[in-house]
Amino acid sequence: MAFVIDILKGMVMGIANVIPGVSGGTMAVAMGIYDRLITALTHIFKEFKKSFASVLPIGIGMVLGIVGLSMVIEWMFGVIPVPTNLLFIGLILGGVPAIWQRVKGNKVKAGHITGFIIFFALVIALSFIQASTEKEKELMKAEENVETAFSVETGVVPAIKYGCAGVVASATMVIPGVSGSMMMMVMGLYEDIIASISNLVKALPSLDMDMIGMCCGLLVPFGIGAIVGIFAIAKLIEMLLEKHSVITFWCILGLIAGSPVAIIVVNAGLFTAMNAVSIIAGVLALAAGFAIAFFLGKDRK
């Protein structure tokens, strides 16, 4: 049962990681697996069997979420965008009570409040950058009004660029409240990466080697960079949790508190055009998201 629940938690993380503005790290905290995931990543070589067993179901869930359910979520964002956004806000809020337990009982210091405010403001600032980036892209598409064929750059220099982007994106995916997808969008690689994954899945059954090679030309160096970034930031976070756990969780609370606001900022146009049906559906989705996160986050280790 625990294995299946961890797969479900991983699926939530995977879906979150492909949606700009939603943080996979936030979902990991909300699901109650953040500490365990960080520990497993930083001890993968010293305690391989234990770490691998801990990460395996979460990894399976993430792959299922990214490759499979991300298409469903993409459809949901297109058809019922407001309830879908509120579903993720509910998932974030559902994990807050358990995170609060990590700081509850400790004396609140000025440094704790300062950390909370700084990281809360950071998430909000990044959301405005994302909103601005998306508007610019929409204007460019409207001006060009041309459908272009899928293609990616190949060669040593593009590979180095994709690898560096992987380091940045994966590092931000591990940090709660910061969206790795948003960082990829800011770097101008989000659409290429999503298209590469989609085209690779389509090309594999027919063994379209040209398309497979093109997709792998982006995804392989990006993936290598992502692995490096994940391990590097995981080690840093482990050190912070061990030596400065209270203030670290206050900062994480700031990141998470800012996440729902960030989602609303990025999708401001949707929320200003709500009607009675979308409000009711949104409230139900919010409640469902909260309940799911609360249930999945119960078994915390």
pLDDT tens-digit readout, 228-265: 888 888 888 888 878 888 888 888 788 778 878 887 88
Q: Work out the percent of the chain whose per-residue pLDDT is above 70.
A: 80
pLDDT tens-digit readout, 192-231: 777 787 788 888 888 888 888 888 888 888 889 888 888 8
The answer to whether the CB of 203 falls within 8 A of the CB of 212 is yes
The predicted structure's pLDDT at residue 113: 92
Give the number of domains in the chain. 1
One-letter-per-residue 3-state SS of 113-160:
HHHHHHHHHHHHHHHHHHHHHHHHHHHHHHHHCCCCCCCCCCCHHHHH
Q: Work out the percent of the chain whose per-residue pLDDT is above 90.
A: 3
Position 50 in a domain: yes
Is this prediction's pTM over 0.75? no
Residue 117 — very low, low, confident or very high, per pLDDT cuts 50/70/90?
Answer: very high
Position 67 in a domain: yes
Range of the domain at 19: 2-296
The predicted structure's pLDDT at residue 150: 60
Position 46 in a domain: yes
pLDDT tens-digit readout, 149-173: 566 666 788 888 888 888 877 776 6
Structural tokens at position 233: 């930031």
Position 301 in a domain: no
The predicted structure's pLDDT at residue 301: 43
The answer to whether the CB of 261 falls within 8 A of the CB of 124 is yes
58 or 145: which leads in pLDDT: 58
The predicted structure's pLDDT at residue 151: 65
The predicted structure's pLDDT at residue 181: 65
Q: Across the chain, what does the average pLDDT equal? A: 78
Position 226 in a domain: yes
Residue 12 — very low, low, confident or very high, per pLDDT cuts 50/70/90?
Answer: confident
19-33, 114-128, 133-147: segment of lowest average pLDDT: 133-147
Position 229 in a domain: yes
pLDDT tens-digit readout, 17-35: 766 556 677 777 777 787 7
- Does the structure show a pLDDT above 80 at 133? no
